[in-house]
Amino acid sequence: MSITLENHTAIGEPVAAADTSISPFSLQGRTALVTGSGRGIGRAIAKRLAAAGANVMLNDMDETLLLEAQADLGHEERVRHVTGDLTDPSTPKAVVDAVLGAFGAIDIIVNNAGYSWDSVIQKTTDEQFQAMLDIHLVTPFRILRAASEYIREAAKSEAANNRRVMRKVVNITSIAATDGNPGQSGYSAGKAGVIGLTRTLAKEWGRYNVNVNAVGFGLIETRLIQPLNGNNTNLQMHGHEIRLGVQPAMLESMKNSCPLRRLGTPEEAAGAVLFFCSPLSDYVTGEVLICGGGMHF
């Protein structure tokens, strides 16, 4: 396993004033880790957090994507990236250590990394099912376990000084977890497990002033649900080529079943996550917010 950390400036240099044009609050001085942030929803989340003033650590498997994302976010003095495959058991801790090494703190964790590998159950292999659990459930567990020592010690220190600092965990789930979806036994199981992990950590970490919540997405415009047209770019993952996309007729049917009659944008998805990362959610924990345009499978 190889892991690389890109570093621009030394911590302690002046931080630019937060851009509050899209938000009634500032996240200046807060540090966020966003996994799976090379593109799509993850990049949109990272962009929202950076615009609100946070230091942001991007993470993905693809160094090229991360460089593109970093250029897109701007705010060079407080955006870094760390490359690594989170399904490697050693990577989640290495990523958390990289955040602490770069910024000296971790205040917001968004467990967003994921992909779908779909089949009806009789065609789903053990490897395929386990791959969905590994990225959607085991990876967030390992990230949070790795961050737990810092979070506990920071909270104890703050309490000793009569300070309360609210930290945030946002785990990404799906309406496939809450409602099920044909062909997604592994994906749905992993995303459902995230809800259990979220609610358990909310109870364990409440004493450390951590809000732990989840956002469940419906149909969001990403490469995972692009119309299949013969020109789709598939996903290469651990020696497998995984087909991405949805049959156009099925996609149109799903749009029509959504009360808003359209797909959501990555920016709209990021808005729901931003709420849970912000001071607006300081007394909200253990909850699942569905961002799906009113759609249920």
Per residue in 133-165, pLDDT (tens digit) is 999 999 999 999 999 999 999 999 999 999 999
Residue 101 CA from chain centroid, whole number: 21
* Residue 153 neighbours by CB under 8 Å, 6+ apart: none
First to last CA, the chain: 38
Overall pTM > 0.85: yes
**Minimum mean pLDDT range among 203-212, 221-230, 268-277:** 221-230
Residue 114 has pLDDT above 50, yes or no: yes
- 249: pLDDT confidence band, cut at 50, 70 and 90? confident
Of residues 18 and 243, more confidently modeled: 243
Q: CB–CB of 151/106 below 8 Å? A: yes
Alpha helices in the chain (DSSP H): 40-51, 63-73, 91-103, 126-133, 139-160, 175-179, 185-205, 248-257, 266-277
pLDDT at 276: 98
Q: 3 pLDDT exceeds 60?
A: no
Domains and CATH numbers, the chain: 27-291 (3.40.50.720)
Question: Which positions are annotated as active-site residues?
Answer: 187
pLDDT (0 to 100) of residue 231: 66
Distance of CA 283 to the CA centre of its chain: 21
